[in-house]
Structure 1
Amino acid sequence: MLDLSSNSLSGIIPSSIRLMPHLKSLSLAGNHLNGSLQNQGFCQLNKLQELDLSYNLFQGILPPCLNNFTSLRLLDLSSNLFSGNLSSPMLPNLTSLEYIDLSSNQFEGSFSFSSFANHSKLQVVILGRDNNNFEVVGRNNNKFEVETEYPVGWVPLFQLKALSLSSCKLTGDLPGFLQYQFRSNSKRIGNMTDLTTLVLGNNSFKGKLPPEISQLQQMEFLDVSQNALSGSLPSLKSMKSLKHLYLQGNMFTGLIPRDFLNSSNLLTLDIRENRLFGSIPNSIFALLKLRILLLGGNLLSGFIPNHLCHLTEISLMDLSNNYFSGPIPRCFGHIRFGEMKKEDNVFGQSMEFSPIDDSLVYAGYLEKYWWYLSPIYNETDEVEFVTKNRRYSYKGGILEFMSGLDLSCNNLTGEIPHELGMLSWIRALNLSHNQLNGSIPKSLSNLSQIESLDLSYNKLGGEIPLELVELNFLAVFSVAYNNISGRVPDTKAQFGTFDESSYEEDRKKWDV
């Protein structure tokens, strides 16, 4: 075994590597190596069982000699600059593969997923990831199109643990081979399917989510976001291991099912930007570990239920762009919204973190973990949230520190509850575009960590509490288009950075 990963190595692979023909495991991941794999003595390593070249700058086409690496169990070429066509007979010959990651390169042409049909040991396939997961210039998602339905009716021999086909230009119904992943393997105890991670976001899938998806009792991470899926939401109450659910950016309609979810482990629920209507079902109130609840951009209505306050672990809540009416629940002041506890670390990696067994997706000479546990491959939790008047994407460890409440663009009435001043850890609060009245509570001056406070487009009156000038982290502040009057706040500290747009249409009522 030769493991040189996560160093600062540069240049090309030396041709002298051919002097290790019996090498079984080679990891060069996480370096700055470049050049082509052609003519570098690489082809003499055909006894390899594990090859990890991820997160480098390798380029050019894959050498044909890879066709002879028939003992390969792990092949990770992700996040490089490899190019060329993948339609060669190379992959069908590598039937010992258990883990393959070709994502974030520059491969072209059409790639048939049926190339893996006879790979009975295959457990992890990663062909696409979201482009915004990668911060190195030049590492774009592949240009190839994945073909999943040719030949018609092909039957896989594999039972996957993890599949990521995000941003792979897929269209039509969900891939037909998935029906074999949704079925239980009768040889497994409890007849549970193996699939724990399914990432199909940023494609053009349409049609309905198959009801069989609810049979995935081991599922922990399900992402079908940013597609054109329609119909009603299926009940996912059998997914009792589910931790992260992303259904946003589709065309789902109807009510949120009463028995929608039943996972005590759920951390993220994102069903924004669909066509869901009705009220928030009681089943959501039982998700007591929930950290992120994103329901914005739907047609939901009625009062915001006080039962949401049972979700005391929430750090991000987005109910914006709906038709909610009535008052803001006073008990929102008792939700944590970012208040950290010493033991908290559910989205990121800490220095003291030790991997847990059920995150291990490959074990050999090398190990591969899903999500945040791998120093090389980070399929971390990621959400979008509007703050500072812009939509930002937050992922991984930053989610431990980001907190916000967005109730904007509804029909909320009544006064701003003074209890919201108890949210001393919150960083973004958006109550704009409602029908709120009364004065701005002085208690908001206790929001010591707040960076964005938007109260614009309401019917608020009275003066701006002078105590707000003590909010030292405030970067965005707006009370525009209200009935504010009285003194202009002192232009000191952060308030010295706000221009007239923060007070537009109110200024004429103020004392100068």
Structure 2
Amino acid sequence: KFLRHQFNLKYLDLSHNKLAGNFPTWLLENNTKLEVLYLINNSFSGFQLTGAQHGLLSLDISKNSFTGELPQNMGIVLQKLVYMNISKNSFEGNIPSSIAKMQGLRFLDVSTNNFAGELSQSLVTNCFSLIWLDLSNNNFDGQIFPNYMNLTQLQLLYLDNNHFSGKIKDGLLRSTELMVLDISNNRLSGHIPSWMGNFSYLQILSMSKNLLEGNIPVQFNDLLDLEILNISENNLSGSMISTLNLSSVEHLYLQNNALGGSIPNTFFRGSALETLDLRDNNFSGRIPHQINEHSNLRALLLRANYLQGPIPHQLCRLRKLGIMDLSHNRLYGSIPACITNSLFWKVGNESLYQLDEEGADVGNVDIRDYYNSTVQLRLDESDLRWLVKQVEVNFMTKNRYESYKGVILEHMAGLDLSSNELTGNIPSEIGDLQNIHGLNLSYNFLSGSIPESFSNLKMIESLDLSHNKLNGQIPPQLTELHSLSKFDVSYNNLSGPIPDKEQFSTFDESSYRGNLHLCGPPINKSCTNLPKLLEPSSKGAEDESAVDMVAFYWSFVASYVTLMLGLLAILWINPYWRRL
């Protein structure tokens, strides 16, 4: 009733309530001077407009339950809009052609709805003032950048998670101010256009989960402001171009392609790179050893390639490393003890990426910069459009892949060297990695005992040493690992009693199978006969000595007989001795 009697409102925020019913058109009719209307996070379901034009500048009805199509006259009634957010609803159909009348529209977010059809020509031709356009998470299809696009002021474009298909057209070339482009998770095919190297202000480029082929254009070297490049999960192939520099890139995702050849040394020479994900490709040769002492690399993921040779000691220079996955390659030799030099693995008193300190400048957009309000307003945070860098790392722990991002990524630390051909003892220095959460050394040829220093891995949640040649006992000190939830030492040569206190009381027989001389409750095997199993009797030792002496005598006789037969053969072959 109070609002029914208001006729001079300029700013109205009814967000985060439980309001339901149809969009309140009467608010616009009663308040002709209304400039800002926020109805975020309510339960409104019907959206209709009257035929009268209104001077509203900012409209946010995101996170409601709106259904059906947008009113066909929307662009006429609200043609003064500068900012419109209708995301996270259930709108369907396509964007009405009347949106062409909104020539002052700067920000448009229609993401996470059920819109379908090809890109509205009215939108991408006549709304030439747009700087932010988000059509992600819908059902749009057809060509992604038709030639008639005319978004000359566009800075941020999100078209990810739709059904766009075919080759990438060059209609985007007119958007020379572009800073963020996300076209991931569509059905795009063909080669990556070389003209994408023309966007000199581009900071984030994501083209993952498409059907793109060929190689990475060398023109990407011209993207001097590029910070995040994600072209993973495509059909890219061939050897990486040695001249590819990408000197400014901080997060590089090339996983799940068919790229081959050697890993370019340039990836390790610079200091900007923080994430390098080359998993599941066809890279071969050795891991580059020319590593910058001032490297900022936090995550190195080389899993499932054809890399050979020893683990280079130069990796020990990566002192900020938090996650390293070299598994499923053909690496051999011993594990370098200095691999524990990472301060994050040892201490972990800081965030891995410090993402909370890194705001992304491209998203610092305030609608107050684009219209002159007649009142001083402190706008809702949803209007202050910060773009948070979406850094994500996949790492296998507890026998499953986990995707780490945000706060969880900041505190994740893991090392995976499994499924290689590594030999030698496990360095006791690994026990210094007090901040590590996941450690996997399985499926190698490691020998020796499990270091007692592993009891210092206070944050460890998953420890897999299975399928090696380890011997000796399981250190009872490991019961001090209170966070341990996955433990596997199966298929080794371990012996003695199995610890059964604290976390170890939760591990079953599968953690220990394939070790004939282990005993204890988890495998239902008594330890009472353990001395007989481990220590041979004196009689057995004497029998073994006797067998050795017999073998010595027989070998002596065999050698003598062989020598005599050889001498006779020589005499027989020589014709002089045969005549005698």
Q: Secondary structure of 2:487's partner?
A: strand
Deviation at 1:270, TM superposition (A): 0.6
Deviations 1:358-377 (A, max 9, x none): 3436454389xxxxx98786
Q: Secondary structure of 1:399's partner?
A: helix
Distance 2:13 2:100 in 1: 24
| Match status 1:471 vs 2:504 | no
| Residues 450-469 of structure 1: pairs in structure 2 closer than 5 A | 450-469=460-479
Q: Secondary structure of 1:222's partner?
A: strand
Per the alignment, residue 113 of structure 1 pairs with 145
Q: Secondary structure of 1:460's partner?
A: strand
Distance 2:130 2:145 in 1: 14
Deviations 1:442-474 (A, max 9, x none): 100110110000000000001100111121111
Q: Which is worse superposed, 433-442 or 68-77? A: 68-77
Structure with the largest fraction of helix: 2
Distance 2:90 2:220 in 1: 38
Deviations 1:75-96 (A, max 9, x none): 1111233345535543322122
Deviations 1:364-407 (A, max 9, x none): 4389xxxxx98786551112110001111111221111110000
Q: Which amino acid aligns with 1:113?
A: F
Deviation at 1:156, TM superposition (A): 2.4
Distance 1:103 1:401 in 2: 30
Cα pair 2:337 2:427 within 8 Å, conserved = yes
| Match status 1:158 vs 2:171 | no
| Match status 1:411 vs 2:444 | no
| Residues 298-313 of structure 1: pairs in structure 2 closer than 5 A | 298-313=305-320
Q: Secondary structure of 2:174's partner?
A: coil
Q: Which amino acid aligns with 1:326?
A: G
Per the alignment, residue 554 of structure 2 pairs with none
Cα pair 2:164 2:186 within 8 Å, conserved = yes
Cα pair 1:75 1:99 within 8 Å, conserved = yes
Distance 1:392 1:336 in 2: 23
Deviations 1:130-174 (A, max 9, x none): xxxxxxxxxxx32x3244545xx7672211211111011111111
Distance 2:507 2:327 in 1: 25
Alignment partner of 1:80 out of 93, 113, 116: 113
Q: Greater relative contact order (Cα 8 A, min sep 6): structure 1 or 2?
A: 1
Deviation at 1:235, TM superposition (A): 4.4
Per the alignment, residue 182 of structure 1 pairs with 197
Cα pair 2:148 2:171 within 8 Å, conserved = no
Q: Which amino acid aligns with 1:427?
A: H
Deviations 1:228-259 (A, max 9, x none): 11112234764332210001111111111223
Per the alignment, residue 431 of structure 1 pairs with 441
Per the alignment, residue 187 of structure 1 pairs with none
Q: Relative to structure 1, is the Cα distance of residues 48 and 155 closer, same or farther in structure 2, using a 3 angstrom cutoff?
A: closer
Distance 1:40 1:204 in 2: 35
Q: Secondary structure of 1:113's partner?
A: coil
Cα pair 1:2 1:27 within 8 Å, conserved = no
Per the alignment, residue 131 of structure 1 pairs with none
Per the alignment, residue 47 of structure 2 pairs with none
Per the alignment, residue 50 of structure 1 pairs with 83
Identity %: 39
Cα pair 2:441 2:464 within 8 Å, conserved = yes
Q: Secondary structure of 1:114's partner?
A: coil
Alignment partner of 2:504 out of 475, 495, 507: 495
Gaps of 5+ in 2: 1-9, 35-53, 371-382, 520-525, 528-580
Q: Which is worse superposed, 250-259 or 42-51? A: 42-51
Q: Which amino acid aligns with 2:368?
A: Y
Q: Relative to structure 1, is the Cα distance of residues 376 and 252 closer, same or farther in structure 2, using a 3 angstrom cutoff?
A: same
Distance 1:223 1:37 in 2: 34
Per the alignment, residue 68 of structure 1 pairs with 101
Q: Across the two proteins, how many residue pairs are aligned to each other?
A: 474
Distance 1:479 1:507 in 2: 12
Alignment partner of 1:213 out of 211, 215, 220: 220
Deviations 1:408-466 (A, max 9, x none): 00000000111000001100000000000000001001101100000000000011001
Deviation at 1:26, TM superposition (A): 2.6
Q: Secondary structure of 2:124's partner?
A: helix
| Match status 1:440 vs 2:450 | yes
Deviation at 1:298, TM superposition (A): 0.8
Alignment partner of 1:335 out of 318, 342, 346: 342
| Match status 1:482 vs 2:513 | no
Structure whose alpha-carbon radius of gyration is higher: 2
Alignment partner of 2:59 out of 21, 26, 46: 26
Per the alignment, residue 266 of structure 2 pairs with 259
Q: Relative to structure 1, is the Cα distance of residues 156 and 80 closer, same or farther in structure 2, using a 3 angstrom cutoff?
A: same
Q: Which amino acid aligns with 2:400?
A: R
Q: Relative to structure 1, is the Cα distance of residues 278 and 9 closer, same or farther in structure 2, using a 3 angstrom cutoff?
A: farther
